[in-house]
Amino acid sequence: MSLLNQARFLLDITRTHDIVRRYFVVNGFDGALTMLGLIIGFLVSAPANLSVIINVCLGAAIALGVSGMSSAYISESAERRRALGKLEQAMISDLHESAHGDATRWVPLLIALVNGLAPFVISLLILLPLWIFDAGISLPVPPLYAAIIVALLLIFLLGVFLGRIAGTSWLRSGIQTLLVAVVTAVLIYLFAGH
């Protein structure tokens, strides 16, 4: 069985597909909004050096990734161990060497990876225009605005993804998540812009 099929099988027998998807969206959204908040914060503040902005955002991205990974691993490990114990009680046998035992060991790791990588990768994508500009390549819009556009696009795409899962209008769902981003931006301007 290939690694991907094995992962799919373990998620299948633990019925954790939904949890992985939920973690991906929730933490991905966290990452995108955090970067958006940081960048708008820099925009409304006194002009800062681009390398400082990149380092601050990268620091936050790494922290989000590590936090997502560790929290998901700890909570999912506990959940999986509890589920295995319950199943062992029902089966009146030791399941550690079975596929359920494998799932108890590997599923928390898989979920932790998704939960940690989603905000990290999304944050890196948002920071991409800043790196490009820092490398000396000119952009059609100032780098901070370009990063905001990427953040809004990714937030919209997360909404589209949610819409497709729910089987509702992808456009409506995308606009809904985009509205959350706009409200966040307005709040930052209101509280930090003065």
Partner 1 sequence: MVSVKKIVLDVLKPHQPNALEFSKAIAKAGADYRVHLLVLEMDENTETIQIEIEGNAIDFKTIQSAITDMGGSLHSIDEVEVQNEADAG
Closest CA to 33 of 123, 125, 168: 123
The answer to whether 86 contacts partner 1 (rule: CB under 8 A) is yes
Q: How far is the CB of 86 from partner 1 (least distance, A)?
A: 7
One-letter amino acid at 171 equals L
By C-beta, is 104 or 184 nearer to partner 1?
104
The answer to whether 90 contacts partner 1 (rule: CB under 8 A) is yes
The answer to whether 87 contacts partner 1 (rule: CB under 8 A) is yes
The answer to whether 14 contacts partner 1 (rule: CB under 8 A) is yes
Q: Is 1 exposed, middle or buried (0-12, 13-18, 19+ CB in 10 A)?
A: exposed
The answer to whether 18 contacts partner 1 (rule: CB under 8 A) is no
The answer to whether 135 contacts partner 1 (rule: CB under 8 A) is no
Closest CA to 68 of 29, 14, 41, 37: 29
Q: How far is the CB of 109 from partner 1 (least distance, A)?
A: 19
Residues 95-134 that bind partner 1 (CB under 8 A): 95, 97-100
Range in contact with partner 1 (rule: CB under 8 A) among 6-14, 29-37, 151-159, 165-173: 6-14
CA distances to 3, 19, 62, 170 from 66, rounded to whole Å, are 24, 18, 6, 31
The answer to whether 81 contacts partner 1 (rule: CB under 8 A) is no
Start-end of H helices in the chain: 3-13, 17-44, 50-91, 99-134, 143-166, 170-192
